[in-house]
Amino acid sequence: MWQLSENSRLGFRLAGNTLHQGFGAGKYLIGIGDTASVVRYAWLESLKAQQQNKEVNTVYNETSGLRPDTASDPNSAQNLQTARQNVAHVYENTNGNGFQSSDQLSGREKSAIKNGDPTATASMASSQQAVAAAHQDRTDPTHGATHIYLYDLSPNSTQRVPAWVRNGNPTTVQGPFINAAGGGDVRAGSLVLILTIKDQR
Amino acid sequence: MKLSSMFLLGVGLMCLPVQAQFHPIGSTKPLPESAVPNIVMAVEDEIYDYKQEKSFVNIGSTGAIGVATQVPIYIAKSISDRNIGWVLYKDMPHGEVLRRFIIQDDGLVVLYGDPELDFPAQQPDTKAVYLDDEDICKFISTAMKTTFTVDPNVSNQRIADAEKRQMRRVHYSFRLDQSDPQKK
C-alpha cells in the first residue's frame, strides 16, 4: 500500500503494475523515483527562485532611482517601502506582464550593487523585502491593479500622460519621492509619485 | 495633510483624471542657453558609450553610412527650479525617446533613464511610441530645435572622453564595463 501511494505521489503510477516482478524491481523503481523527485523538486524550486528574482529585479528597476523625500514627509522612507510592495502586487496581478521593462538588472545596476553602492544595495534589499511581503500579504492593497505609472510633478513637466493612464483608475498613490539621476552626485532630483492603476472595464 | 495620505484617502478621487488630481510642485525658469551644448554632449556621450553609433543608419542628415550624421533634438525651453528639463530625440536603436535631464551645479547634464531598460511606458523617460501623437506634436512645436552628431567612425579619443564623462555622470560606463577582463 505504501509503495503504491508513494509511487503515485512520485508520478510513477505504472510502477505499481510492475510489482509482480518482485520487490527488487519495485525497490529499484522507487529508488529511481526518489531520485527523480529530488531532481524535479530542485528544478521546481529553481524555477520558483528564478521567478522571484525576476520579480525582485522588476521592483528594483522601477524604483531604484527613487529616494525618500523626508523634507516634505517624515514617513517617506516607509511610504517608499509600501510603494515597492505595491509594485510587487501589480507584478503578481499580471504575472509580470504589466511591465515593459526588463526583469533583468542592467549593467549599470549590477555594477552598482557589486561595488557596494549603499543606495543600490539598500534599494535591492528593500525590493527583496517588498516582494517577500507581497507574497505574504494576500489582501492586495492595489485592488487588482494591472499597471504602475511614475508621475512627474515638475512644474514644467512635459511628461505626456498616455491614454491608458488618463482613462484608468488609480488605486494607490505613494509619494512624492525624489527621482535621482546619475550615480549619487545629484542632491536634488525630480519629484514623482508612484501610482498603481486598474484598467477601466 | 501629507500628499500621500491625502491621496490614499480619496477613493472618490479615482473618478478624476490623473492630471487633475496631482498638482505640480515648484516653479519654472528659462532654460539657460549655456546648457544646450552640455545637453547635446550628454546625448552624444551616452550613444558612444553604449556603442549605438552604428545604429543610426538612414537617420539624420546623411544616413550615417561611413560619415557623421546630424540628428534633430528638441529641448523644452523651460526647466524646473530643481534644474530638470525635457528632451526629445531619436535614440537608435530604441527609437524616439522623451527623457528628463538634470543640470548639475558644475554644468554637467545627466540624462534620466537607463538605456538597457529600453525606456518603458510606465516611466517618465519613455519612447515616443507609447505617447499620444498630439502630445508629441505639441512638444515639438513649443521646444527649441537643434542637432546632435553621431559619427559611425568615432575616434578613440572621443569615446574615451565619453566614457570618462559617463563615469562622472552615472558612475558607470558601458564600454568600460564590457571591456572589463574579469567579465570575460
Q: Give the nearest chain B residue to A152 (CA atoms).
A: B124
pLDDT above 50: residue A154: yes
How many cross-chain Cβ pairs, A to B, lie less than 8 Å apart? 180
Assess contact for A171 and A140: CB atoms under 8 A: no
- Quote the minimal CA–CA distance from A103 to chain B in Å: 9
pLDDT in tens, A64-123: 999 999 888 999 999 999 999 999 999 999 988 878 777 889 999 999 999 999 999 999
The DSSP letter of residue A50 is H
Q: What is the pLDDT of residue B69?
A: 96
Q: What is the pLDDT of residue A27?
A: 55
- How far is CA A44 from its chain centroid? 17
pLDDT in tens, A10-66: 333 333 433 444 455 555 556 666 777 778 778 787 777 777 899 999 999 999 999
- How far is CA B41 from its chain centroid? 11
pLDDT in tens, B24-54: 888 899 999 999 999 999 999 999 999 999 9
Interface test with A, best of B11, B14, B18 (most A CBs within 10 A): B18
Q: Kindly give the confidence (pLDDT) of every residue in chain B, 184 residues in length, as a single tens digit, with 9 standing for 90 and above.
A: 344 444 444 444 455 556 556 778 888 999 999 999 999 999 999 999 999 999 999 999 998 888 999 999 999 999 999 999 999 999 999 999 999 999 998 999 999 999 999 999 999 999 999 998 988 999 999 999 999 999 999 999 999 999 999 999 999 999 999 876 665 4
Q: Is the pTM of this model over 0.95?
A: no
Assess contact for A65 and A179: CB atoms under 8 A: yes
Helix residue ranges per DSSP H, B31-172: 35-49, 133-142, 156-170
For A23, the 3-state DSSP assignment is helix
- Quote the minimal CA–CA distance from A177 to chain B in Å: 10
- Quote the minimal CA–CA distance from B18 to chain A in Å: 6
